[in-house]
Structure 1
Amino acid sequence: MAVAYFVTHPEVVIDPEAPVPQWGLSSRGHERLQAFCARPLLNSVTDVFVSDERKALDCAETLKSLRNLEFCIDPRLGENDRSSTGYVAPPRFWEIVAEFFAHPDASVLGWEMAADAQRRVKTAVTECIRERAGKGDVVIFSHGGVGTLLLCDLLGEPISQTRGQPISGGGCYFAFDADTLSVIHAWQDIVPELS
């Protein structure tokens, strides 16, 4: 059985002056990500897919530097489109996120609808897995919002924020069977010993 690991980027450098997709990992994010990439858990990985956002690319580039694994960029693995508002500071951001999950078939303040984002990421993940070059495990570096949407779908549950990652700054992963798409485990910290 090949395992697929859906991994969210850890902590980022928040820059209100830059578009959110251009944000990169913070020093803490790099530290946690490097520890994750060194874990024996990833010894059987043959294929890596990543969104085109800087913070996710930072993750794929770290894995490549440690394990010499090339990666494929798929923009469909990006976070839900929030360009209509740009950066929104907490706590208002979390209020909008709650609305996003509570009303999946509506656009909240011009954001991509949750139902549309769910379909997009599910299609991207299934097609990436189907087209992978190797026969081993798969790593997908992406984002927490679409990860929550994907996990809900894989569990056969309605869209809900209750399946959100347990760390608000990111840096979590869940695992599923790459062939059957059956969930092996829900969200876990990428490196719990560093938390």
Structure 2
Amino acid sequence: MRALYVTHPQVAMDANVPVPLWGLSPQGQARAKAFAARGVVPVGAMIFCSRETKAMQLADILAEAAQTLVLSDHLMGENDRSATGFLPAALFEEAADRFFAHPDVSMEGWERAIDAQTRIVDTITTALASVPADTPAVFCGHGAVGTLLKCHVAGRKIARREDQSRHGNRGGGNCFAFDLAPARLGGEWQAMEDFAPGWFDAVRRH
């Protein structure tokens, strides 16, 4: 089943608001709307997203352009970092490095990377089971769990070098195409501005 994973672009950060409630910033909204306008998401595609505000806002923008509905599931959410709450950029980067470097260990109470990977893979597998044949599936989500999914599909070790910040736009708004059965990665993270329409039809012909 061919699918596309897209991360939310830039968000309006607010240390006084829980991270899952952060929404897209004006820049993030503009990027999402430009991506939708390019027709990368085919009309009639099934769109899934986490229940975090930023992912739902991205999904709604894509769904409007694709004339379809959105199905949301909290199990598609980002790795649980509530134990530490908001971290300034430098501290967050240090924590993220540790999260990926030691996937079997909880980083100061964070959800372990290995557990987050199992959760996102299982949830997407279940979602894809509901998608009719030859219907594109699009998942709107987050950088860390998206990277963990990418590692699983590619059969690679969990590592920070696989993160979207190492390949695409550091502000988010990146994507990759993939299959789960058989497991096949369509490419590395690409900024949504660089991802070409026709990804579903192009691979379906092979």
Q: Does the pair score TM above 0.5?
A: yes
CA distance in structure 1 between the aligned counterparts of 2:146 and 2:56, rounded to whole angstroms: 16
Shift of 1:178: 5.3
Shift of 1:177: 2.5
Equivalent position of 1:31 in the other structure: 30
Residue identity matched to 1:78: G
For the aligned residue pairs, the C-alpha RMSD in angstroms reads: 1.6
Residue identity matched to 1:167: N
Query: Is 2:109 aligned against 1:110?
Result: yes
Equivalent position of 2:154 in the other structure: 155
CA distance in structure 1 between the aligned counterparts of 2:39 and 2:33, rounded to whole angstroms: 12
Superposition pairs for residues 50-89 of structure 1, below 5 Å? Answer: 50-89=49-88
Equivalent position of 1:94 in the other structure: 93
2:169–2:190 contact (8 Å) kept in structure 1: no
Structure 1 stretches of 4+ moved >3 Å: none
Shift of 1:85: 0.7
Query: Is 2:190 aligned against 1:191?
Result: no
Question: Gapped runs of 5+ residues in structure 1?
Answer: none
CA distance in structure 1 between the aligned counterparts of 2:140 and 2:123, rounded to whole angstroms: 12
Residue identity matched to 1:7: V
CA distance in structure 1 between the aligned counterparts of 2:87 and 2:130, rounded to whole angstroms: 36
Superposition pairs for residues 137-176 of structure 1, below 5 Å? Answer: 137-165=136-164, 166-176=168-178
TM-score by length of 1: 0.93
CA distance in structure 2 between the aligned counterparts of 1:63 and 1:133, rounded to whole angstroms: 19
Identity %: 39
CA distance in structure 1 between the aligned counterparts of 2:58 and 2:161, rounded to whole angstroms: 26
Residue identity matched to 1:107: S
Superposed CA deviations along residues 92-125 of structure 1, whole A, max 9, x for unmatched, are 1100000000000000010000000000000011
